[in-house]
Amino acid sequence: MEGLGNWVPIGIFLLRFTSVVIPALPGTAYSVLSGGLLGFTKGLLVICLADLLSCSLSFSLSRRYGRDLVQKLVGTKFINKIDHLSQSHLEHNFFLLTGFLMTGFFDFVCYGVGLTQASWRKFAPALVISIAISNPPIVALGAGLLEGGKLLLGLALLGVFALAIITGLVQRSSSTMEE
């Protein structure tokens, strides 16, 4: 790995970026890989930068080109769910938006919010907060697994557990709002 130099972070960045812009590709593994190959700090920086730029691009693409482009990227199966969720709940609820951006469907959420009337000024802080909360535990998991750091691994597991609780609360809140 050391012989590859700067190609490792660039490669991980491109993989993660692509997995967010094209939501059919799984991206969580790249966070774990980033932590394992680059260490916690550098790995977190690469993943956070990739998420910030790719989510911003997804929001902007859907805002500029509309539903037709989003439907091509996410598929017809998800477009109606994204539309309903975004317009009914996320557009007007900053905390729910932030919570949904911390789930495994954050890439879809970015496209969906771009289709609503939610402003960039509302979306950007929610995105930054969600990245700051949800990425460290997963990158730390990768760093702990491959570096043997038991404390880091323990903190990562606690972080993932906390994210699971937050996700459950957000989903329960969302289902309560739909009823």
Rounded to 5°, angle at Cα 42 from 36 and 48: 100
pLDDT digits (tens, 9 = 90+) for 11-59: 899 989 998 888 876 778 888 889 888 889 999 999 999 999 999 999 9
Contact by Cβ (8 Å): 22, 73: yes
Contact by Cβ (8 Å): 109, 101: yes
The pTM is what? 0.77
Rounded Cα distance between 105 and 20, Å, is 10
Contacts of 2 (CB under 8 A, 6+ apart): none
